[in-house]
Structures are given as C-alpha cells and as structure tokens.
C-alpha cells in the first residue's frame, strides 16, 4: 500500500515538472516581458474618478467614486467578519474537557 502511494506521489511530482505548450503559447512575448502594474493609493484613484473615467489600455471603464467606496466597505466588512472567533464557547468547553480512558475499555 505504501509502495503504491509512493509511486502515485512520484508520478504526480513528475507531471508537475512538465511544460504545457498549449497554455504557454497563449501568452504573447509582450505580456511575458511586461513589468508588474503600478499600485496606486486609493486617494489617487478617487482623484482620477472625480476628474473622469479611468481608462485601461484596451477599453474604457467608467468607475464611480461610490462604487469604489461601496467595494472598499464590503471588503472591510468581510475582513471584520473573518477576524471573529472560529470556535464558539460551547465547542471550546467541549474541546477543553479532559478525556479519560478506563483501562478496562482499552
């Protein structure tokens, strides 16, 4: 059983090392050599929204300041909900109880 598991792991590891030309050829050389986009502070984005639409290279997208604020507030609310306790008090008490095993049961 262990030998079969080892063989499966080795096969998966070797498969992960291969290249996929169908996927690799989809990326143009310009995109491959391009740098990472510049990250802008939210204040700069809001200033751009106030003066007009933010236009990416390919297609103009109109973004309203309210949309940015709504999205930011939604992300803050989601982050706040993730900061809460993972285990409630009842489960914590159950996990903290000592487990004893009688020698007769073992």
**Over 80: is that where the pLDDT of 37 sits?**
no
54, 63 in Cβ contact below 8 A? Answer: yes
Answer with the residue of higher pLDDT: 15 or 102: 102
pLDDT tens per residue, range 49-103: 767 665 555 555 566 778 888 999 999 999 988 887 778 889 999 999 988 888 7
Residue 89 structure tokens = 């008090």
The total of other beta-carbon atoms located within 10 Å of residue 73's CB is 10
């Amino acid at each position: 059983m262990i030998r079969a598991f080892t063989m499966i792991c080795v096969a998966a590891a070797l498969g992960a090392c291969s290249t996929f030309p169908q996927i690799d050829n989809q990326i143009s050389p310009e995109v491959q050599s391009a740098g990472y986009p510049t990250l802008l502070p939210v204040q700069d984005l809001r200033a751009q929204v106030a003066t007009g639409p933010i236009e990416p290279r390919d297609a103009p997208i109109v973004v309203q300041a309210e949309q940015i604020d709504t999205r930011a507030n939604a992300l803050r609310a989601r982050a706040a909900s993730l900061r809460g306790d993972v285990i409630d008090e009842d489960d914590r008490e159950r996990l903290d109880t000592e487990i004893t095993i009688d020698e007769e049961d073992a």
